[in-house]
Amino acid sequence: MRNMRGIEIPRFRAVSSGPQTLEQLFGEESCFAAWLNSHENLLKHGIYEPKDFLWHESKDVNQSVWIMAIEDYVTEADTAPYKIIDFPGGMFLVATADENDPEDLNETVNDMMDWIRCSQVFAYGDFPASGMCNMPNPNGKLSKALGIAQQQIFLPLKLLENTE
């Protein structure tokens, strides 16, 4: 598992953007990112890991879903116009690549897929089918200092039938 790690993410409640373009998620005044920034009191924060994930909803890579963990007391009325989902959790293979370097991203994902194929314990999981990602340094200070935009890549895992 050189440069990779296996993790288990527990089930949690999250506010979901629903399928949107990256421009709709990040680029407009009324975008999901702006909504999140103005509703910080509803969001669940970790000690060091962000509690958000982004994935492609289908084979259309121009439509992504971004979710953010929310506090237990939050209701649909609090998150309108966005919906609350139950993120199912699961097992994931995680590695980090430079978001701004497509070659590094592709190489990292290919290495992860090779590891899954050769593991003799895991197969590629079911959700989300595209895998998912997040930025471990959302304020950008560390990324700026390193000169790269670290993106954590999460590929879903499932146990092979003969290992359950």
Phi, psi of 84 (to 5 degrees): -95, 135
CB 124 within 8 A of CB 113: yes
Supply the pLDDT for residue 49.
79
Q: Can you give the pTM of this predicted structure?
A: 0.91
CB 26 within 8 A of CB 33: yes
Mean pLDDT per 10-residue interval, the chain, length 164 residues? 91 96 86 93 86 86 92 97 96 95 95 96 94 85 87 96 67
Supply the pLDDT for residue 152.
94
Supply the pLDDT for residue 13.
97
Supply the pLDDT for residue 164.
56
Phi, psi of 131 (to 5 degrees): 75, 180
